[in-house]
Every structure is written in structure tokens, then in C-alpha cells.
């Protein structure tokens, strides 16, 4: 949700991370209708699909999600995330990969 005017056009990322924080699949794409078009207070739903790497072993994984600008890959910082304020990604955990 846009809390204020968006000053850059961001790309959203979703990456599947193993316990060593190695990427085992993911997807990066511009949210629609583009972040510069977001209105203050507007909630955007952004869907990402990707293939899990064939090298991924069974276990518990987490997703890292966030936004960055191109071509500098400058990530947007979290402002309201208890315990993670200032981080450049949000980690969502507890995703089990099985054979």
C-alpha cells in the first residue's frame, strides 16, 4: 500500500531462500500498473509465480520479498516491520519443500 507519493519506478522481487540464504527460484517483475501510478492509500495486489530449482533439496525455505529500482538495484527500505525496520527485504518463512 502506498503511504505517500511514489518517486521511483520499482521492480518487485520474490526469491525462495534455503537455510544458507541461497536462491532456489524466484521472480522479478514490475508491479502493475507500475509503481509511479500508485495513488496514496491504494492497495496493490502483485502476483509472482516461479519454478523451484531442481537442485532444491527437501527442507524448510523462506521467501524474501521487496522492491528495487533499476539499473542501480537500490532496494526500498522497510519502515514498519517489527524487528526489521530499515531492512531492504521482508522475509516470510516456514515454506516446506518435499520430494
pLDDT in tens, 38-65: 999 988 899 999 999 999 999 999 999 9
Give the cell for residue 48. Answer: 509472482
E strand map for 19-89: 23-29, 59-69
Q: Which three cell numbers stand for residue 69?
A: 529500482
Stretches in the chain below the pLDDT threshold 70:
none
3-state class of 69 per DSSP?
Answer: strand
pTM equals: 0.88
Amino acid at each position: 500500500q502506498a503511504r505517500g507519493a511514489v518517486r521511483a519506478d520499482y521492480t518487485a522481487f520474490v526469491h525462495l531462500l534455503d537455510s544458507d540464504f541461497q536462491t532456489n527460484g524466484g521472480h522479478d517483475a514490475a508491479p502493475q500498473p507500475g509503481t509511479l501510478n500508485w495513488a496514496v492509500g491504494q492497495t496493490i495486489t502483485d502476483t509472482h509465480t516461479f519454478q523451484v530449482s531442481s537442485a532444491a533439496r527437501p527442507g524448510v525455505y523462506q521467501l524474501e520479498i521487496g522492491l528495487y529500482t533499476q539499473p542501480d538495484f537500490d532496494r526500498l527500505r522497510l519502515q514498519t516491520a517489527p524487528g526489521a525496520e530499515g531492512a531492504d527485504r521482508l522475509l516470510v518463512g516456514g515454506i516446506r519443500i518435499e520430494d
